[in-house]
Structure 1
Amino acid sequence: MNNLVTQNYSHPQEPVFSSNPMQNLKSLIEKGDLHFLSEFNEIFPDFISKIKSASSKLNAMDIKFCVLLKMGFTTKEIASVTKSTIRAVQSRKYRIRKRLDVPNDEDLNLFMVTFF
Structure 2
Amino acid sequence: MTKKKIDSAEIDLKLLENQPEKLVGKKIFKLYQVRGLIHCNKKEYDLAIKNYETAIALTKKIQNNFALEYLYKLIIEAYEKKGDKKLTEEYIQKRKFLSDNLRKIRENSTESTVKELVKHKEKKAKSKIQYLMYYICAGILIVIVLLLFITIKIRKERKKIMQKEKETNILSKKLNLAFDEVVQLAKNNDSEFLTRFVEVYPDFFPALQQIEPQMQNSELKFCALLFLNFSSKDIATYTFVQPQSIQTRKNRLRKKLNIPSNEDINIWMKNINKK
The bucket for the TM-score relative to the shorter chain is 0.7 to 0.9
Q: Does 1:21 align with 2:178?
A: yes
Q: Aligned residues, how many? A: 98
Cα offset, 1:43, TM superposition:
1.3
Q: Which whole-Å CA distance do the structure 1 matches of 2:196 and 2:214 have between them?
A: 25
8 Å CA contact 1:58, 1:99 repeated in 2: no
User: Does the residue aligned with 1:115 lie in a helix, a strand or coil?
Assistant: helix
SS of the aligned residue for 2:210 comes to: helix
Moved over 3 A (4+): none
How far off is 1:57 after superposition?
A: 4.4
Q: Which amino acid aligns with 2:253?
A: I
Q: How does 1:1-116 map to 2 (within 5 A)?
A: 20-116=177-273
- Cα deviation for residue 30 of structure 1 reads 1.1
User: Which structure's residues are more often helix, by fraction?
Assistant: 2
Distance in 2 separating the partners of 1:64 and 1:21: 17
CA distance in 2, matches of 1:32, 1:103: 29
**Computing the radius of gyration over CA atoms, which structure comes out larger, 1 or 2?**
2
TM-score w.r.t. structure 2 length? Answer: 0.34
CA distance in 2, matches of 1:113, 1:72: 9
Aligned to 1:4: none
C-alpha separation between the residues in 1 aligned to 2:214 and 2:255?
A: 10
Further displaced range: 22-31 or 56-65: 56-65
Equivalent position amino acid for 2:195 in 1 = S
Secondary structure at the residue paired with 1:28? helix
**Which runs of 5 or more structure 1 residues have no equivalent in the other structure?**
1-18
Aligned counterparts of 1:92 and 1:50: Cα–Cα separation in 2: 20
Structure 2: which 5+ residue stretches go unaligned? 1-175
The one-letter code of the counterpart of 2:222 is: F
Work out the percentage of aligned pairs sharing the same amino acid: 32
Q: How far apart, CA to CA, are the structure 1 residues paired with 2:199 and 2:220?
A: 16
1:29 offset after TM fit, Å?
1.2
